[in-house]
């Protein structure tokens, strides 16, 4: 982290709305075009989507976490996550460092999940 990735840097309109609340502003994407060997399909999004490099997005999310008083952990694996069972309960994370963390809120960055 942060690392540049060349995979899709497309953010849905609902994702853009969330990022905007955190003062992160992707480049607006108003339309898309899908190509095949014989034809293409163009369409406009009813609400603009966005695009932002992973490198920039990672850095801006990390900044927001720290700015809001959160703890940013890198080079650490979550070995087990026990989600909160109620809205007043806390999430429990068991880390590769041997630590256990109780957290009211989590922002989990996993990257692409296979299948």
- The predicted-structure confidence for 69-107, as pLDDT tens digits, reads as follows 888 888 888 899 999 999 899 999 999 999 999 999 887
Taking residue 85's Cβ as centre, other Cβ atoms within 10 Å add up to 9
Question: What pLDDT shows up at residue 65?
Answer: 85
Question: What pLDDT shows up at residue 86?
Answer: 92
Question: What pLDDT shows up at residue 92?
Answer: 97
Kindly state the tokens that stand for 73. Answer: 């952990």
Question: What pLDDT shows up at residue 4?
Answer: 64
Note whether 54 and 63 are within 8 A (CB): no
Q: How confident is the model at residue 44 (pLDDT cuts 50, 70, 90)?
A: very high
Q: Which residues pair with 95 in a beta bridge?
A: 78
Kindly state the tokens that stand for 55. Answer: 């490198």
Is 2 a residue whose pLDDT tops 80? no
Kindly state the tokens that stand for 11. Answer: 């953010």
């Amino acid at each position: 982290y942060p690392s540049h990735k060349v995979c899709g840097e497309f953010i849905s309109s609902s994702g853009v709305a969330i990022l905007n609340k955190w003062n992160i502003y992707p480049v607006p994407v108003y339309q898309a075009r899908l190509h095949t060997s014989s034809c293409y399909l163009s369409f406009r999004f009813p609400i603009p989507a966005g695009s932002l490099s992973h490198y920039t997005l990672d850095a801006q999310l990390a900044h927001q976490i720290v700015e809001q008083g959160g703890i940013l952990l890198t080079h650490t694996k979550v070995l087990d996550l026990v989600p909160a069972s109620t809205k007043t309960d806390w999430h429990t994370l068991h880390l590769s460092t041997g630590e256990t963390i109780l957290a009211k809120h989590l922002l989990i960055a996993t990257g692409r999940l296979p299948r």
